Structure formats: structure tokens, C-alpha cells
Structure 1
Amino acid sequence: MDKQAVYDQLKVIKEQLDQTATQFTDLQAELTQVFEQNAELEIENQHLRDLLRELQKTLPEAPETQQGLSKSRQILEKLYEEGFHVCREFYGTRRKQDEECAFCLEVIYRDQ
């Protein structure tokens, strides 16, 4: 093997290593972002649980209200009114600009 071939092979390996290092750095940044988002969601989830506990304490013990909603649906309605999704598709996420969600309304008011 001549010197030029060795040099060319080393150059190719160096380029591959540089490319791998760049991929590693990008992957590391994405993983960090996922961990941060996960931590934020865990905190928001805990806040929602705390809010749910508070709402459960404030609701009357009667199984049905004048509106015909059970205690659990009243809680879902209250969470919805505070700007959170209660539907299966988006549960726990904030409703953007308090837009209506047909899925949430179906969960709260079906079978009345």
C-alpha cells in the first residue's frame, strides 16, 4: 500500500469520525430536550393531581347535581373550564386560547 492510499484512508476515517461525533452531539442535545420536557410534564401532571384533589374536596357529596353530572364529571368539567383537556387524545394538556374541544365535551356531557 503506498503512502497516498494510507493518507486517503486516514482522511476517510477522520471524516467518518467527525460525522459520528456530530451525530452524537445532535442526539445528546435531543435527549436533553426530551428529559427537560419530561420533567416539565411531570411537574404539570403533579399540579393537575393537586388541583384535582382540591376540587374533589370542594364538591358536594351528592352523587348527582342539578345539572345531572356525577362528582367525577364535575371535576372534569372544572378542569376543562380551567383550560385543560380532559379527553383521551389530549388529556392534561392546556387548551390553546381556551378553544372548545368536542372530544372533551363528549367525555363530560355524554349520557346525560
Structure 2
Amino acid sequence: MDKRSLYDGLNELETELSNSLAELIRMKESLLQLVEKNATLEMENQRLRQHLQELDQAKEASAKKTAGLSQSRMNLEKIYEDGFHVCNEFYGSRRENDEPCLLCSGVIYRESNK
């Protein structure tokens, strides 16, 4: 092998290695972006799971709360949740800023002695 062909071969090898290195760097950056995106999505997924669990717990608590109510009291509860009084004193009037009313709560949730 003469010196010229050896030099040309080394230059060609150097060019190929440079191209391979550039490709490796691009692949590494892409992998880094994917790993970051995956970590972000995993954290968001975890938060969504926790939120769903909280919603399920709230739904179960609401179901337990209304499980013992008769149909008529459930209707009164719906009217109350829509923002209207169901107590004898203010029946049918709108609750200001949906603030709670103890009289209404007493009508809806009191124990039935009959």
C-alpha cells in the first residue's frame, strides 16, 4: 500500500467516523427528548390517577350520604343543590351565592322517625 492510498483511506475513515459521531449525537439528543417527555407524561399520568381516585372517593362518599335517603328527600336534595331553599322558612327562594342553609340540611338529612 502506498502512502497516498493509506492517507486517502484514513481521510475517508475519519469522514465516516465524523458522520457516525454526528448521527450518534442526534440519536442521543432524540433519546434525551423522549426520556424527558416520558417522565413528564408519567408524572401527569400519576396526577390524573390520583385525581380520578379522589373523584371516585368523593362519588362513593356522596353515594353513601344519599343511600339512606328516600326518593322525595333525594328530590329535595337535588333542588337544594340547584341553589334553592327547601326549608319551610325560605322554600323556593334562591340561596345567595349557594351558601349552605342549616334548615334545609335538617329537612333533607334528618332521621325519619316514622
Alignment match of 2:78 (pick from 58, 72, 81): 72
| Superposition TM-score, scaled by structure 2 size | 0.51
State the Cα distance separating 1:20 from its structure 2 match: 1.2
Which residue of 2 is the match for residue 54 of structure 1?
64
Q: Which residue of 1 aligns with 2:25?
A: 15
Q: Does the 8 A contact of 1:52 with 1:75 survive in 2?
A: no
Q: How far apart are the structure 2 equivalents of 1:76 and 1:24?
A: 47
* Larger Rg belongs to: 2
Give the aligned residue type for 1:8. Answer: S
User: Are the structure 2 counterparts of residues 2 and 58 from structure 1 closer, same or farther at C-alpha, using a change threshold of 3 Å?
Assistant: same
Q: Write the distance in 1 (CA, Å) between the matches of 2:74 and 2:31.
A: 61
> Given the two structures, how large is their TM-score scaled by the length of structure 1?
0.51
- Unmatched tracts of structure 2, length 5 or more: 1-10, 84-96, 99-114
Answer yes or no: is 1:33 the counterpart of 2:33: no
Shift of 1:15: 0.5
* 2: CA distance, partners of 1:21 / 1:35: 20
Number of equivalenced pairs: 74
Query: What do you get for the CA RMSD once the two structures are aligned?
Result: 2.8
Q: Partner of 1:97 in structure 2?
A: none
How far apart are 1:16 and its partner, in Å? 0.6
- Identity %, equivalent residues: 7
1:63/1:71 contact within 8 Å kept: yes
SS at structure 2 position matched to 1:45: helix
**Which stretches of structure 1, 4 residues or longer, exceed 4 Å deviation after superposition?**
none
